[in-house]
Amino acid sequence: MDIAIRQAHPDEYEPLGTLTARAYLDDGLLDYGETDPYLPVLKDVASRAAAAEVLVAVDGDHLLGGVTFVQGPGPVADIARPGEAEIRALAITRTARGRGAGEALVRACIDRARATEGCKAVVLSTQSSMHAAHRIYERLGFVRTPDRDWNPVPHLDDLTLLTYKLTL
């Protein structure tokens, strides 16, 4: 597989939104399945692209996955503080998993963070069941930051997102 990482084109926003939503649904990451309130957010790549940089992994013209790179605090960031970039909505198709697409997207985000003036760290949130993603983050030097773990849906006691940080 020859993986290329580049900025998403507007005509890819809808397919990437579908791919991202499908990955979360198929992995059982949305408590309410097709009616989960986070599903429209995952599908709305255009809104993320308006406020951040959306990257895709492609093999030729085949879309393998995507991620959102947020340069700092703002409307798309969940946990970034001043001097921190944030990684959001990393998703890879099932057929491309284990082939390096996810790691390539995370590395591209790290490279962008290093090129961002004043950026000293990259942060992200992840669900506890996303073990393959955790392995990528830890292999690339991210460390857990339990003091920043948070619950995006406070009325659900069992939904705590784990956080990671890479100091640049």
The pLDDT value given to residue 30: 86
In the predicted structure, residue 80 carries a pLDDT above the cut 80: yes
Rounded to whole angstroms, the Cα distance separating 68 from 8 reads 10
Tracing tokens 């995006």 back to the chain, one arrives at 152
The alpha carbon of 70 is separated from its chain's Cα centroid by a whole number of angstroms, namely: 10
pLDDT band at 92 (very low <50, low <70, confident <90, very high): very high
Within 1-158, where are the H helices?
Answer: 13-26, 39-43, 45-51, 101-114, 131-139
Residues 111-139 have pLDDT tens digits of: 999 999 999 999 999 998 899 999 999 99
Distance CA 148, CA 165 (A): 10
User: What is the pLDDT at residue 37?
Assistant: 86
Taking alpha carbons only, the member of 110, 108, 106, 113 closest to residue 83 is: 113
**pLDDT (tens digit, 9 = 90+) per residue, 97-112?**
999 999 999 999 999 9
Per-residue model confidence (pLDDT) at position 31 = 77
Residues 41, 145: Cα–Cα separation, whole Å: 25
Contact indicator for 90, 106 with CB cutoff of 8 Å: yes
Are 90 and 133 a contacting pair, CB within 8 Å? yes
Q: What is the pTM of this model?
A: 0.94
How far is residue 134's CA from residue 97's CA, in Å, rounded to a whole number?
A: 14
Question: CA 52 → CA 111, 112, 152, distances in Å?
Answer: 15, 12, 20
